[in-house]
């Protein structure tokens, strides 16, 4: 990052996602933490800085993006990242690397890290990558919310309704489902209608998509 103060760059390419969007920075350099705080404030982002990776791992604060320095005396950024993934944290992680640490950062990206930036980090590059990470996190959260909603709707189904729905989702016709379950076609179609109503699906295709999404 450049000297503390307003960034000497063009405005960010992405519209700020709104005040209150939190970015966590774990870096033992007070100068980096202070510079990042001022920079991100100019684009409407809240920065929660940590000088201690151990404290960060203990707190595990809610965030839309995590900036991790690779080289820290207490615990390395790579080890912090490993522990985050073990804890099931899926927040996008951006590594900030010094000279000679690029190979480590690239390896972390192969393990699922979002990106890495070489120090000294260009202000505009940092802002762009952070906004891209925040957008990715929103996609992840929206998808998770959608799966939760589908799961709630599926819980409304009886065991028989779910069984009929699963067979239909596999591509079976009402007649094939009826033969498999020793039911009449009319009975299967009745189950299908109730499933559509309980899932609030507008069509058979939408019902099938919901069932398949729930299995992912």
pLDDT digits (tens, 9 = 90+) for 185-204: 999 999 999 999 999 988 88
Residue 209 has pLDDT above 70, yes or no: yes
CA distance 188 to 105: 55
CA distance 139 to 49: 24
Name the band, by pLDDT with cuts 50, 70 and 90, for residue 109: confident
Query: Is it true that 22-141 and 156-214 share their CATH fold?
Result: no
CATH architecture of 22-141: 3-Layer(aba) Sandwich (3.40)
The pLDDT tens digits for 55-75 are 999 999 999 999 999 999 889
Judged by DSSP in three states, 128 sits in helix
Q: Which residue has the tokens 């699963």?
A: 166
- Read off φ and ψ for residue 99, nearest 5 degrees: -60, 135
Q: What residue spans of the chain are helical by DSSP H?
A: 30-41, 53-59, 77-86, 102-110, 123-154, 159-169, 174-181, 185-199, 204-214
For residue 146, what pLDDT is reported?
84
The pLDDT tens digits for 141-187 are 888 788 888 888 999 999 999 999 999 988 899 999 999 999 999 99
Residue 12 DSSP label? P
Mean predicted lDDT score pLDDT of the chain: 86
Strand pairing of 65-69 and 46-50? unpaired
For residue 216, what pLDDT is reported?
63
Domain extent listing, the chain? 22-141, 156-214
The pLDDT tens digits for 5-40 are 334 434 334 334 444 489 999 999 999 999 999 999
Tally of CA atoms within 13 A in the half-sphere of 45 that contains its CB: 29
What CATH class does 156-214 carry?
mainly alpha
For residue 10, what pLDDT is reported?
41
CA distance 178 to 70: 60
Name the band, by pLDDT with cuts 50, 70 and 90, for residue 108: confident
């Amino acid at each position: 990052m450049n000297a503390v103060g307003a960034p000497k760059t063009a405005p960010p390419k992405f519209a700020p996602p709104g005040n209150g969007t939190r970015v966590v920075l774990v870096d033992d350099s007070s100068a980096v933490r202070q510079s990042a705080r001022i920079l991100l404030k100019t684009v409407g982002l809240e920065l929660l800085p940590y000088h201690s990776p151990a404290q960060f791992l203990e707190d595990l604060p809610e965030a839309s993006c995590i900036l991790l320095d690779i080289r820290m005396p207490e615990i390395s950024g790579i080890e912090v990242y490993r522990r985050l993934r073990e804890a099931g944290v899926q927040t996008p992680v951006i590594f900030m690397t010094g000279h000679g640490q690029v190979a480590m950062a690239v390896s972390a990206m192969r393990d699922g890290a979002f990106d890495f930036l070489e120090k000294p980090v260009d202000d505009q590059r940092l802002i762009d990558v952070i906004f891209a990470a925040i957008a990715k996190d929103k996609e992840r959260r929206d998808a998770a919310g959608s799966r939760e909603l589908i799961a709630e709707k599926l819980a409304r189904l009886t065991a028989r309704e779910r069984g009929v729905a699963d067979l239909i989702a596999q591509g079976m016709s009402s007649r094939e489902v009826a033969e498999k379950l020793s039911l009449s076609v009319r009975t299967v179609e009745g189950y299908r209608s109730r499933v559509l109503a309980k899932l609030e699906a507008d069509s058979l295709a939408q019902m099938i998509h919901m069932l398949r999404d729930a299995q992912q």
